[in-house]
Structure 1
Amino acid sequence: MQLTESPSSLIKLQHAIDQWTIHDPELAAQLRSCLSDVKMTIVQLQEQSIWEREQCQRAEAKVHFLEHRKQAEEALRDAKEELEIRVEERTAELRDTNQQLQLEIAQRKQIEQSLRESQVCLQLLNNISRGITSGLSAEQVIESTVRQIGQHFKTLRILYGVIVDGAITAVHSAQPETMIKLEGAVLEVKQSPEYLELIDRRQPIVVANVTQASFLAPLADGMLSRGTRALLAVRVQHSAQEIGLLSFNSPEPRQWSDYEISTLTEIADYLSIVLQEAQAQQERQHAEDRLRLFESVVINGQDAVIITTGNPDDLKITYTNSAFTESTGYALEEVLGRTPRILQGAKSDRAQLNKVRQALLHNKPIQIELVNYRKDGSEFWIDLNLVPIFDNQGSLTHYVALQRDITDRKWSEKALIAIQERLKYLLSSNPSVIYTCHPNRNRSCTFVSENITQQLGYEVWQYLKESRFWLDRIHPDDLRNVLDHIAQLFEIEQLTCEYRFLHQDGSYRWLRDGMKLLRDRQGQPVEIIGSVIDITDRKWAEDRVLASLEEKEVLLKEIHHRVKNNLQVISSLLKLQAGYIKDDRILEVFKESQNRVRAMALIHEKLYQSEDLAKTDFAEYIRSLVTDLFRSYSVSSRLIKLNVYVKDVRLSIDTAIPCGLIINELISNSLKYAFSAGQAGEISIRLFSEAENYYTLIVQDNGSGFPTDLNFRNTKSLGLQLVCSLTKQLHGTIDLECQRGAVFKISFAEQKQKV
């Protein structure tokens, strides 16, 4: 029986024991005790059975686990192998996918870079296009393009230049601060024919290192000196005749990227188109401006404009401007459809009109002067300029006539002809030769009057042909003086010089040349005008006069010398005679007379010693006169001091002798009476000019003064009588002041010399 079934059996056994209790309690108790042990044994057996069952279950579970584990491991191994296979397959797929993705990413980056580069290039091209559409000139477009390229390529110098005479001339450049700005001729490309050939091929010039490019060897030093180590240049069609270059200059060697090459190439190609459009636009603008200008000239011009049909046999007026109405009196509606012959009249020159007719028939332009008639019948002169107009096929469509009113000019021409004839007559009959010449040292002539032949024997053409004709015929001794005068002419603008000139007959003639420098409004010398006159006869007469004057000067000096000697003899005779006189009063009279004679003799001595025989240096004369008087009266200059205040005063002999005698008398009077024996004092003499030829003489001393009761104008003193008489002879005035000594003030005028 299984242990699991024991509970129901034990219950049955318990009921049986309970029944035996009644019959046999003791057996029942024993049975119950046994039953209790059985129960304990059953419990133990149950527990052991449970444990064993659990162990079996665990063993079975372990076996199952091991089997499952083995199966799981096998499955896991199979799964791992399968997973590894799948991982490898997936890794390969992921690797391929990653490579494809990286390739796509690289392609996308390249596309994005290309898009950015294309955007930069398109932006630059758009800016160039916007510049030309906004009306910028070609030069402004170039400047803007170079500047904007420089903003995107900040480490490079952007240079635009034009090839002129085999050299690249910089037009505009943009560069970083580390690179110099290029101006003027920067590269003599004619030194490298290969360089020019590359430019002609219209291929980009790509140079990573200028020192390693053989075709740049002749230019490398110049490029290095300007900080260019690498070069990228593309040709630009600057104009129809000129080639330009747009280039990148790198300060360091570098490999140029495809982006840089393509960008520069696209910009250069587009810039070529834009410059051509700009030039065409400028030409169109100039054409429009010229058209507007021509229209303004036609409408508002001062010359009458007439447009007719192109049939020379039946000319019909189709247009006239307002100047035509003003000059003829005909309104436009009055002449439309009519022939220009309405302007002809009785005095119209038929020969001139026939010339116009022939020009019309042969479709040739003509310029001619005619007499026309206004609407009111009055005549006027015109300068007619007739021009045929042809269309693109060469067919004659119209005639355009410009007619200018030259009536005033015709009258002026007649007046000018009359003036020219008068001037020609005046010049030919004038003894002076009139000329004009260039303001240079050669004095090359531009005009000379025809009377040069009569005056100097030369023909006019000889004077005009040779630039140095005039200077080569001036006497060698006078040439330097003439050249100096010409040099001075530019400072003083007008002068006269005299010189000897070689006549056609071989003799030298004296000429007087008056020159004047003419200047334009800006003050620049334009011409020298002058007149030349033969003064040979006058020079001969002057030489004779000078010789005569020199002879008379010698004679006059001799006369003054002899007069001085005669007066000196008289003075000596008086001195000798005085030696026999014992009376002091008479002796004093002789001394005074001797001093007066010596005063006059001194005047003649100063005159014949002077270069000027007409006037004497009066200051020197006074000093000599007073010195003689001091010596005559034995006066010591230590006691009596002499002060002479006389400036440069020169007096004629008719004034000097009376004035000298007056000084002689007044100084003698001061030396005799003003100072007592041994008394010190001063004598002063002043002579000055108050006005032209009007003088004041002051003689004063600080001695005892003049007696108050003595009238010097009415005295028995011979000396004072002479002073008053000589003052009257000079037509002067004399005054005396006696406050401190004696002061005589004499005013007089220069006496005219008697001829």
Structure 2
Amino acid sequence: MVPETSPQVMHRDNKFYQMMFELSRDAILTIEPPSWCVTACNIASVKLFNASCKEDLLTKEFPQISPHYQPDGELSLEKARRIIEHAFQEGRIVFDWRCKRFTGQEFPASIQINRIEINGEKVLQATIRDVTEEQHLKEEQQATQQQLVATEEELRVRYNELKHVENKLRASEAKYRTLTENTLDIIYSIDPQGIITYIGPQVARYGFMPEDFISHNIREIILEEDLGRILKEGKTTILTGKPIRTAFRTRDRAGNIVWFEDNSSFLVDPTGKTGVRTGVLRDITEQKETEERVRKSEELYHSLAETSQDLIYIINAQDRIEYVNSYAAAALGKTYEEIINMDRGAVFPPEISLGQQQYLNMVFATGKPSRFESQILLLGVTRWLDHALNPLKYPDGTVRAVLCISRDITDLKQTEDALKASLDAKNALLREIHHQVKNNLQVVIGLLLFQASTVSSPEIARIVLDTETRIRSMVLIHERLYKSEDFVNISLDTYIKDLVNSLICAYGTKTYINVKYSVDKIQIDQSTLLHLGLLITEVISNCIRHAFTGRSIGTISLAFHRKENNGLILSIHDDGIGIPESCLNKKASTVGLQLISLLGQDQLDGKILIERENGTTFTFTFDYTSQKEEK
């Protein structure tokens, strides 16, 4: 037998190594310096990295079959270089690595790198194993272990809780029994056949004892009108397993109807069979009566709205019509269905829609009612409408909608126009009457002046002049009424000034008279002003003729003020020589003083005070209730 030569042995070993290399279930790569590229790989490597052939892996660097970063955040390129250098120096290294297949899928791997010699050259051989399943198993094992620990702890805690609950249940059993028996609600229990097995003592409020119901069917206490509905709801609840919430009527011992709200549920036994039904009955009679009153009230208001001859509609915050009554729908020429939930602008004519918007915005913003009038074309006829806008609010005060009531006031407007035209005509007539009276008095004054010029007696001339000034005070009143828009009241301030100036001019005195006025803005009716004007005329005439004898200048102060309690006070003061004492100590003998007394006391029902300090002061006080302050 010929001994094997060394090359033959090497060839056989290489072949054996190649076979083991290819048959390995782990991926094996050969990496050679200096580039550390893959120079050889087995079939398992192709499968592991989802390559199409070995050539896809050859010449690849280790980082090229890895993601950009490893799980610890380090760059795969830098980390791979460091590991390869370490393996080449130490001869062996085992580590975990994150690889990437050609499809882009990443997977965890366990890698062992060994330094080997091939044909006398030192290279690195990397054995790569996909540990995805192992990692999952490990994670699941850890999770299971943690779950077992948690379950054990939970069971221990649960056991302690159950013991605690058991103790609490025992401790509170008496308390709950007391609560059950003292609550206003009635707690009950019935068996599957509807027989009452327990009912609370609260039935005493209705004239019964619990014994009156025990062993009786619950159907016996429900009024016949509600019984069918209640039985149907009970069957539905059994099928669905949901709790019952319903209401029914019964009667108390006196025969009065009582409403109860029933909240109950069925208890299911371990076999899944429906068993006992337990529940709570709450007296809702007052609530039902309130609901009935509200329903009737709503029906009444709806009936009133529907029979009203006003346009009634509700506009919500979205500017849509929420409600409209029949009259409004007919007036707008549309049906109820054509208006409800429509935009307001699409229902009302543009001319009214724009006007409404301003007032609606105001009501929504302020929460306060508003009102306005407008003309609108309804069914081809222009009508006047009075619009009342009232806010409808949520409990928090926010306006949710606006109730609008539009009333046809066309006839009222026409009547108003007719009255205004009639009033204008009467005002024109009154103005003409005052004009004629003024002219007639002017004629009388002219006749008096003519008569005075024909007499030689100074005394007669003075009497005529006094009469002329008195008539002139009346002329001024009618002149003011003729020029005024108010035929009842006359402004006192301007009248007094004009009257005093006319008196100074009429008497033609050589003394310069300075008049000081302090007059409140008061309006006086013509009847009172006629007497007041004559009174002022007499006092001012007396001042002009007698107070400033021998003087070149004098001062008259006239004040007219309002007092409390509807009182007026007139004060006329001159700084002249003063009225003689004899005139104050005896009854007035002159015509002027007699007129002053007659006008001040009798006609004006006032009081007169005459003082002689620093001249003469006439003070008149009287009540006057119909005056009004000028605006």
Q: Which of the five TM-score ranges fits, normalised by the shorter chain?
A: 0.5 to 0.7
Any idea what SS the aligned residue of 2:456 has?
Answer: coil
Q: Is the 8 A contact 2:363 2:389 kept in 1?
A: no
Higher RCO (CA-CA < 8 Å; seq separation 6+): 2
Report sequence identity in percent.
26
Q: CA deviation at 1:605?
A: 1.8
1:343 aligns with 2:216: no
1:589 aligns with 2:466: no
Residue 643 of structure 1 deviates from its aligned partner by: 0.8
C-alpha displacement of 1:599: 1.6
Displacement of 1:607 after TM fit? 2.2
Higher helix share: 1
| Structure 1 contact 328–375 (Cα < 8 Å) conserved | yes
Q: Please tell me whether residue 370 in structure 1 is matched to residue 226 in structure 2.
A: no
CA-to-aligned-CA distance 1:191-213 (integer Å, 9 cap, x gap): xxxxxxx9xxxx9965579xx9x
Aligned counterpart, 2:20 = none
* 1:526-557 deviations in Å (ceiling 9; x for gaps): 55456443222111111111111122222222
- SS at 1:740 equivalent: coil
- Specify the alignment match of 1:655 in structure 2: 528
Q: Which residue is 1:381 aligned to?
A: 259
- Quickly say closer, same or farther: Cα 1:691–1:427, change in 2 above 3 A: farther
1:513 to 387, 390, 394: 387
Equivalent residue runs for 1:221-232 within 5 Å? none
Paired residue secondary structure (2:524) = strand
- Aligned ranges for residues 176-187 of structure 1 at < 5 Å? none
1:278-357 matches, within 5 Å, as 303-309=185-191, 311=192, 314-315=193-194, 317=196, 329-331=208-210, 339-341=217-219, 343-344=221-222, 347=224, 349-352=226-229, 354-356=231-233
| Structure 1 range deviating more: 526-535 or 388-397 | 388-397
The reply to whether residue 487 of structure 1 matches residue 365 of structure 2 is: no
* Secondary structure of residue in 2 paired with 1:613: coil
Of 466, 475, 483, the residue aligned with 1:609 is 483
Unaligned residue ranges in structure 2 (runs of 5+): 1-66, 79-138, 170-174
Q: Distance in 2 between matches of 1:585 and 1:441?
A: 89
C-alpha deviations, 1:662-693, integer Å up to 9, x for none? Answer: 11111111010011133432211111111465
The residue number in structure 2 matching 1:570 is 444
- Aligned residues of 1:437 and 1:446 also touching (Cα < 8 A): yes
Counterpart for residue 610 of structure 2: 736
Give the alignment's TM-score, normalised by structure 1. Answer: 0.53
1:669 to 525, 542, 547: 542
Q: Note if contact 2:312-2:405 (Cα within 8 Å) is conserved in structure 1.
A: yes
8 Å Cα contact 2:322/2:341 also seen in 1: no
CA 589–539 in structure 1, closer or farther in 2 if over 3 Å, else same: same
Distance (whole Å) between structure 2 residues aligned to residue 467 and residue 207 of structure 1: 63
TM-score calculated relative to the size of structure 2: 0.62
Local SS of the residue matching 2:619:
strand
Q: Deviations over 1:559-598 (max 9, x none)?
A: 2233223323332333344333333222222222222222
Question: Aligned pair 1:685/2:558, yes or no?
Answer: yes
Q: Is the 8 A contact 1:390 1:396 kept in 2?
A: yes
The answer (yes or no) to whether the contact 2:367–2:399 under 8 Å persists in 1 is: no
Q: Do residues 405 (structure 1) and 279 (structure 2) align?
A: no
Asked if residue 561 in structure 1 is aligned to residue 439 in structure 2, the reply is no
Q: Distance in 2 between matches of 1:694 and 1:204?
A: 106
- 3-state SS in 2 of match to 1:643: strand
Contact preservation (8 Å) 1:644, 1:684: yes
One-letter amino acid of the structure 2 residue matched with residue 547 of structure 1:
A
Residue in structure 1 matching 2:341, options 458, 461, 465: 465
Cα separation, 1, equivalents of 2:194 and 2:616: 113
Distance in 2, Cα, partners of 1:482 & 1:634 = 68
Separation (CA, whole Å) in 2 of partners of 1:485 and 1:651: 44
RMSD, aligned α-carbons? 4.7
CA contact (8 A) 1:343 1:374 kept: no
- In the TM superposition, what is the alpha-carbon distance from 1:719 to its structure 2 partner? 2.6
CA contact (8 A) 1:502 1:508 kept: yes
Contact kept in structure 2, 1:730 and 1:751, CA below 8 Å: no
Q: Determine the C-alpha separation between the residues in 2 that align with 1:324 and 1:206.
A: 75
Query: Over residues 111-165 of structure 1, what are the superposed CA-to-partner deviations in whole Å (9 max), with x where a residue is unaligned?
Result: xxxxxxxxxxxxxxxxxxxxxxxxxxxxxxxxxxxxxxxxxxxxxxxxxxxxxxx
Kindly report which structure 2 residues correspond to 1:489-568, keeping only aligned pairs within 5 A, or say none: 493-503=368-378, 505-517=379-391, 522-529=396-403, 531-568=405-442
Check conservation: 1:687, 1:696, Cα contact below 8 A.
yes
Amino acid at match of 2:229: Q
Shift of 1:497: 2.9
Deviation, structure 1 residue 701 = 1.0
Alpha-carbon shift at residue 467 of structure 1 (Å): 4.2
Q: Distance in 2 between matches of 1:606 and 1:470?
A: 56
Judge conservation of contact 2:606–2:623 (CA < 8 Å) in 1. Answer: yes
The 1-side partners of 2:498 and 2:315 are apart by 59
Q: Specify whether residues 516 and 745 from structure 1 end up closer, same or farther in structure 2 by C-alpha distance, changes over 3 A only.
A: farther
